Structure 1
């Protein structure tokens, strides 16, 4: 990679995040499966805590923005990331104290957000289920397929099955779903439609 004059030298690495199994790979890995993905929890925690949208103003970053919409910064190192959907994939819900949290990044419970059952959002066209995530991930995270299938059993479709669910039952409580929160997220910015 050629760095334009006037910019300090930095190393660039390219990653691919596969949303389906929620695995991180070097982008140029020929075979992408469990044996070639990154699995070390401390590394994954470090990497995911530094992700943000690739809006760096340096000329080199602008060149990669279309193909690698996210970047994880580590000093002078630039880890450019492309993904099927979004870089945060929620894997499981766990109890902590009096509340529940939703984990992501395969870093155990080290990476999590408060679980908000009323803010689960399912897109009928794709079947994908989303939940709010930290802003650095575009304010939205995908719920892993295995977990989404379990959660979808408790959706109610008050406007018909061709429309997004209107209610979600969690631990015996029925929540009216907020279908507006996702409009300020990365998935809306790229043109996704809920209906």
Structure 2
């Protein structure tokens, strides 16, 4: 994921709503350069951290599922006019703003969840279990040639595309789920899943490369 810097207080320098979590207002933290948060995961999922956390690992990351669901369901591009270059995303919390930066994408898919009542599997992201999950769309998986990472559609509000955790991508790759019709040096062309062979659409590539945004609709989640 990336790195999260807490909250910017909008109440005259007194951090009210998030005092129990952060205990400090941004006005008193010049070392934070104007925000407080940090989330961290690229090819490996690491989690959500306060930006000044020196050792970032499973022990120091946020693990409360309710908080993670609250944070990431409200995540959106930072168009506040403040710290946009340093923190491209923010998660509003009442009158406060939680600023976020990440090494690659803020949404990191970590686990594939078996279907409950509906027939579709779910991809869970950012440690939220079933609270943060989208229907798995095998045909929309795409490997970016520039970095070799695997991506999947994510909620449009948080950027429309998320990174697949390296461990999950490796599990699929080592299990022979990908077919490389263009040769071993080219991105995969097909994905084998659930007894079916899916041709990969690569429809996320324009969005990943920073071109014109392409809306890749998520399959409706049932149940």
Give the TM-score normalised by the residue count of structure 1. Answer: 0.84
CA contact (8 A) 2:75 2:90 kept: yes
d(CA) in 1 for partners of 2:172, 2:58: 25
What's the offset of the Cα at 1:87?
Answer: 0.8
Q: 2 CA distance for matches of 1:136 and 1:103?
A: 16
State whether structure 2 residue 162 is matched by structure 1 residue 155: no
Residue of 204, 207, 211 corresponding to 1:181: 204
Instruction: Tell whether the 8 Å contact from 2:161 to 2:204 is kept in structure 1 after alignment.
Output: no
| Displacement of 1:161 | 2.1
Structure 2 contact 140–153 (Cα < 8 Å) conserved? yes
Please say if 1:46 is aligned against 2:70.
yes
The match for 2:23 is: none
2:190 corresponds in structure 1 to 167
Say whether residues 1:73 and 2:97 are aligned partners. Answer: no
In the alignment, what sits opposite 1:96? Answer: 116
Report the Cα offset of residue 123 of structure 1: 1.8
More strand per residue: 1 or 2? Answer: 1
- Matches of residues 1-195 of structure 1 in structure 2 within 5 Å? 9=12, 12=26, 13-19=35-41, 20-56=44-80, 59=81, 61=82, 64-94=83-113, 95-97=115-117, 98-152=119-173, 153-183=176-206, 185=207, 187-189=208-210
Aligned length: 179
Does the 8 Å CA contact 2:74/2:91 hold for their aligned counterparts? yes
Using the size of structure 2 for normalisation, the TM-score is 0.74
Are the equivalent residues in 1 in contact too, given 2:141–2:151 (CA < 8 A)? yes
Q: Distance in 2 between matches of 1:178 and 1:133?
A: 16
Q: In 2, Cα distance between the equivalents of 1:35 and 1:22?
A: 10
For residues 92 and 205 of structure 2, the distance between their equivalents in structure 1, rounded to whole angstroms, comes to: 26
Offset of 1:9 from its aligned partner?
Answer: 4.5
CA distance in 2, matches of 1:137, 1:148: 21
How much does 1:190 deviate?
Answer: 7.6
Which range moved further: 7-16 or 34-43?
7-16
Distance in 2 between residues matched to 1:74 and 1:134, nearest whole Å:
19
Q: Contact between 2:45 and 2:108, CA under 8 Å: does it hold in 1?
A: no
Structure 1: where are the runs of 5+ without partners? Answer: none
Query: Please, what is the CA RMSD of the aligned residues?
Result: 2.1
